[in-house]
Structure 1
């Protein structure tokens, strides 16, 4: 059994998805593990980690519209507004999307589908630097 780990850092833009599939695939390919599991953990509570279609940008636009309609900025029901009207909505969106992914590794490659990409989704209105802890476990 072997393991490997790293920390990735991504610059986000407010409300946008940032794909990092290529960076993750490149790092996995450099490791001695050919069969196993890749775990990705987003170290933030106001951004999300998702696998999503990466071919048609309309998918991302539709997802954003739906999620922001579901949890709008400035909703008067929220008490926690310490960092502004997008603060609590960002936390809710983060809970809905999650902050952890597990992706199988077979023959030294992430087993993503043809149109699947791995994304950090920034839920705050401002840009941020987001960090991800990535671990591999396998043979």
Structure 2
């Protein structure tokens, strides 16, 4: 069995948005007992991460670390068409991921106790992001 759906997430600018509930809901509704949940973010300036979901400080620390590593408006960037956060957002996406593959086991997404799925917006202003979910299994 294969099921595919795309849903939108409205971001408020640079932030992480917990999308675990949307994904687990799609898996629950699919009727798939064992398989793979493939997630793909259809953008080049945001990413998907599997991250600790108990302490929001983890995601804040990740943001601070990445901000130190990739600075907005760095003078080495030639691509600044959409502002000082444009190229840094592209680099952030390349350093992280625009896709995730997760197992489905016993009809449920097989996440660990403290794992959550997040969309990580790398631009500083709001965007409407689209996540494509493909479920494959039996």
TM-score normalised by the chain length of structure 2 = 0.98
| Structure 1 unaligned blocks of 5 or more | none
The residue aligned with 1:99 is 98
CA distance in 2, matches of 1:58, 1:111: 24
| Structure 2 unaligned blocks of 5 or more | none
Root mean square deviation of aligned Cα: 0.6
Consecutive aligned runs of 4 or more in structure 1 exceeding 2 Å deviation: none
Shift of 1:32: 1.8
Shift of 1:112: 0.7
Number of residue pairs the alignment of both structures matches: 138
CA distance in 2, matches of 1:114, 1:125: 31
CA distance in 1, matches of 2:34, 2:122: 34
TM-score normalised by the chain length of structure 1 = 0.98
Shift of 1:98: 1.1
User: What secondary structure does 2:90 align onto?
Assistant: helix
Aligned runs of 1:85-124 on 2, under 5 Å?
85-124=84-123
